Structure 1
């Protein structure tokens, strides 16, 4: 028996096929693009997510040499907070607003005036920031009301792919807890906050624990067998924390990708009186994580590669990674340069 993992990042996606001992049997990666319609806006095409992940699924299965009917289950991890409005068939009604998008400053001010930071933080574990999904949903409601009215569900990236695979509208607690609409103590959407913001919770996917069997694949567009089970996963940072063993008090992880994130394990929600760190649901059911982050570490390196390091990238040969050339050049600079 084998299992599959779909990793839906900010700059691309990958599929892994594992045996039950955790050995990688096959994998594949595809980059995808972000679009910047204004200096503060970051969007992605949700249909491109689907076409890209299908390519990696099929390529990873081929590379693995594993028969599709031997893959018993799959799960999904994802860039968090990014939101896309879809119709009843799961078709996107607008480009997704990416977690890096900062166009929602007016919505942030509205939430601060309407509800206030203390209530938001004590309920959701989050601060009021354009980063989080509720500000983006509110932007659709206030700036694109026709799209808001047509929206059947607002989906996160993993939710969108799960819907494509199963036809179901489902999210997990770890992702729901990054929307700024989720009560992390009671593990349900906050009717109070949604009511004050006049956001219709019927437009949100059902939220369940990570590790829940949500049904078989019913999509024939990939090499997966239609009897393969889809299991709820978790947001990328919670998944990374689980993967490196942050499963007990005192354990903490730091990872760098598009951004850099520090997460610590919690047995119950914990709130910082100065609101310097956030609290969200963990991938481990019945536990939480405390989190601090910066948003632009790897993203800046990619920007440098694409916009400035043309000479360095032109020297790429024999499959050499352009990032290796860039970092080798950077190593020649003195400390503090």
Structure 2
């Protein structure tokens, strides 16, 4: 009987379930969305029960679509969005909604943690800056603002860990997700007692951390019944989406680099030790490949910026598909007729690390049309990512960048990236499922179905190479300082805007 890996990729917009066979070929996939809540300024939440429902529904659809017998599923594994705060009770039930990675309400807590530990010291321990996007500051916020919820919490976990707990009854995370909390010592691969103490968080509230390929339990009878699977399937914990995306893109050897384009976007590489950038633009995860690290630079709102503009335009009466928006953007010249978009809809991590940053169109004039706005958004993301690439090129050189994620399906966006970077972009046939494929290969390696992580390189498909235009790269090289200068010119204004409060119909109130 053929054997299969069942893997789940719990992303920002929904869960993607995939079945992958023993040759690491994708057999079937199913997607089920869930809702994101924005209860107040900077707050971004999801209901963990929605994650579980999406896992259940996507499993049912996957089995029906593929016809694969449940007895042939050899292992279950996961990838998931990182840096959340998911409070669970002793019985594993969630205590209220989770604060996801995009939630930036805990800026004050992050600043206090930075002051307590010291910016340089914290970066040396965890390989990341203290920031509101990470779990530590979010947990601190819950402790200070929702003390009853904090007192009821048995463990703080990540999204995939909640689903794994529902399947096995065990509270476990992996090194890659742990390294996105601001609480994990990357050298010792243990929770940092020094940072936990500074944050005022009892170490007992954190789950056991293990390698991503670890079998953490087997599928319980109750979970099997709900998912329409069979009891006893091994469950491998898997890894964080960034680390799984690297594995799914075939980035498993030191020196390679890739870019993921989804709701957020990141550039990631592989190294044997964390890369500690003097300006702390790069941060570091543990890789799902044991013994390796995944230095990364992430911006908050890449595809999110594009989707935001689409939503705004459709409210105005336009019915715009992605393809139609791309066609309109292609009619606009490089620099979108001298229009800059700063893509800071959710504040920003790399390269500027400014939670107060705001999005802005700079340079709007009467002659600008819809296509110019769309192109400016695409270019704004690329120009922001160029600042991250600059940090990587200070420690290495790259002759091409592999591009994955939903945004990789846009030929225009890939061309803009190549032109801004001055580096060819390699787009494999498998772009949408790369993160889920990374979760699948992690699970397969964990139970011995695959000999190593290199098996994925044979199945990601031939790459389409997109080469930069020398002329357009020259234009963007001159445009980059204007883009960076626009942020610097508005930085103080962004800070003042972040100090405003919203009072319903009464409008905005400026704070003293």
TM-score range, shorter chain: over 0.9
Shift of 1:311: 6.6
1:83 is displaced (CA, Å) by 1.8
Secondary structure in 2 matching 1:82? coil
Structure-1 separation of matches of 2:20 and 2:265: 26
Indicate how the Cα distance of structure 1 residues 17 and 109 shifts in structure 2: closer, same or farther if over 3 A, else same: same
**Residues 126 and 186, structure 2, Cα contact 8 Å, conserved in 1:** yes
Question: Which residue does 2:91 correspond to in 1?
Answer: 89
Structure 1 distance, partners of 2:308, 2:91, is 35
Q: TM-score, normalised by structure 2?
A: 0.63
- Higher strand fraction (1 or 2): 1
Alpha-carbon contact 2:111-2:131 (below 8 Å) kept: no
1:62 to 61, 64, 68: 64
Identify if the C-alpha distance between structure 1 residues 149 and 105 changes in structure 2 by more than 3 Å, giving closer, same or farther: same
Gaps of 5+ in 2: 337-512
Q: Is 2:73–2:233's contact at 8 Å kept on the other side of the alignment? A: yes
Bigger mean CA offset, 322-331 vs 144-153: 322-331
C-alpha distance in structure 1 between counterparts of 2:204 and 2:138, whole Å:
16
Q: Could you report, residue by residue, the CA deviation over 1:181-232 in whole angstroms, capped at 9, with x for unpaired residues?
A: 0000000000111012210111111100010111210112102221211112
**1:251 matched to which residue of 2?**
256
Aligned with residue 275 of structure 1, among 277, 280, 286: 280
Counterparts in 2 of 1:274 and 1:229: CA distance versus 1, 3 Å: same
1:61-93 Cα distance to aligned partner (Å, 9 max, x none): 111110111101010001111221110111111
User: Shift of the alpha carbon at 1:326?
Assistant: 2.3
- Which residue of the other structure, out of 230, 236, 247, is the alignment partner of 2:241? 236
Conserved 8 A contact 1:127-1:275: yes
How far apart, in 1, do the equivalents of 2:41 and 2:71 lie? 47
Aligned to 1:293: 298
Aligned CA distance change for structure 1 residues 222 and 270 (closer, same or farther; 3 Å): same
Moved over 4 A (4+): 310-313
Answer with 148-157 or 218-227: which moved more. Answer: 218-227
Is the CA contact (8 Å cut-off) linking 1:266 and 1:289 kept in structure 2? yes
Corresponding residue number in structure 1 for 2:206: 204
CA distance in 2, matches of 1:246, 1:312: 43
Q: Distance in 2 between matches of 1:98 and 1:142?
A: 18
Pick closer, same or farther for the CA change 1:15–1:312 going to 2, 3 Å. Answer: farther
Q: Deviations over 1:130-173 (max 9, x none)?
A: 11100000101111111111001111001011011111101000
- State the Cα distance separating 1:299 from its structure 2 match: 1.2
The question of whether the paired residues in 2 share the 8 Å contact of 1:312 and 1:326 is answered with no
Asked if residue 4 in structure 1 is aligned to residue 9 in structure 2, the reply is no
Matched, 1:326 2:330: no
Q: Which residue of 1 aligns with 2:190?
A: 188
Whole-angstrom CA distance in 2 between matches of 1:244 and 1:52:
25
Query: Which of 132, 136, 140 is the matching residue for 1:130?
Result: 132
1:73-88 to 2 correspondences below 5 Å: 73-88=75-90
Pick which of 20-29 and 159-168 moved more: 20-29
**2-structure distance, mates of 1:77, 1:93:** 22
Secondary structure at the counterpart of residue 221 of structure 1: helix
2:454 maps to what in 1?
Answer: none
Structure 1 residue aligned with 2:110: 108
* Structure whose residues are more often helix by fraction: 2
Contact 2:259 2:268 in 1 (8 A): yes
2:226 equivalent in structure 1? 221
Question: What is the CA distance between 1:296 and its match in structure 2?
Answer: 0.4
Q: Distance in 1 between matches of 2:234 and 2:323?
A: 39
The secondary structure found in structure 1 opposite 2:237 is: strand
Deviation at 1:23, TM superposition (A): 2.0
The higher radius of gyration belongs to 2
Pairwise CA distance, 1:335: 2.3
Q: Which residue of 1 aligns with 2:143?
A: 141
- Whether the 8 Å CA contact 1:25–1:63 is kept in 2: the answer is no
Count matched residues.
331
